[in-house]
Amino acid sequence: MQFAQIRDRVKTETESDGPIDLSALAGTWVNSNPDTNGIARMVITQSGANLSLRAHAIGPEGLIDWGTVDIQVFTSAPSSRISAGFTCLYDFGFAETRLQAMILKGLIVLAQIHRFKDDSKRMDFFVREYFALDHGRY
């Protein structure tokens, strides 16, 4: 087994090779910052063994629907089968936004990497925000 750090040299038991538990990610996630000028809400939906994400962001005149994209799921360790994060890419033409998320203490910590592809000379930028699961219990 090849590895680039000792953490990745693990046994992969056949009985643990079932599907990854996606339940930690599915749901509606709301930005903890009511004054954000970025993503306000993410809806993550499970369809079989896959997850998709639909984001809504704050625009000058209200919410902007970013549409739905497939997400790639990550666990917290090479031998884990429990979802703990995801990545996905939105390509808007003039710019692309890569989302890189991980769950910490029940929150999604979402890193957003924005790269401009137009000639606006805007600098690529990075935003990191927190999202809470809208669990609807209280």
Partner 1 sequence: MTQTFGFKQSGHLDPALSDPATRMLNADKLTGRWVNTSPETQGLAEILIEQDGERFSVSALGVGEDDPIAWPRTNATALANLEEEAGQRAFALTASFDFGFMTAETYLRVNKGVLVIVVYHRFRDDSLRSNYVNREFFYRHD
Q: Strand 83-91 to strand 107-116: parallel, antiparallel, or no bridges (unpaired)?
A: unpaired
Phi, psi of 8 (to 5 degrees): -85, 0
Of 37 and 137, CB closest to partner 1: 37
Cα of first residue to Cα of last residue in the chain, in angstroms, is 48
Provide, rounded to whole angstroms, the least separation between the CB of residue 29 and partner 1: 16
43/95 with CB nearer partner 1: 95
Residue number with CB closer to partner 1 (64 or 133): 64
Taking the complex as a whole, the smallest distance from the CB of residue 45 to partner 1 amounts, in Å, to: 20
From the CB of 66, what's the least distance to partner 1, in Å? 6
Instruction: Please give the Cα distance from 131 to 42 (Å, whole number).
Output: 8
Q: Which residues bind partner 1 (CB under 8 A)?
A: 1-10, 12, 17, 20, 37-39, 57-60, 64, 66, 72-81, 84-85, 87, 90, 92-95, 97-98, 100, 102, 111, 113-115, 118, 120-128
Rounded CA-CA distance 15/12 in Å is 9
Rounded distance, CA 15 to CA 36, Å?
Answer: 44
Closer residue to partner 1 (CB): 10 or 132: 10
- Look at the block and give the residue holding tokens 């003039």: 94
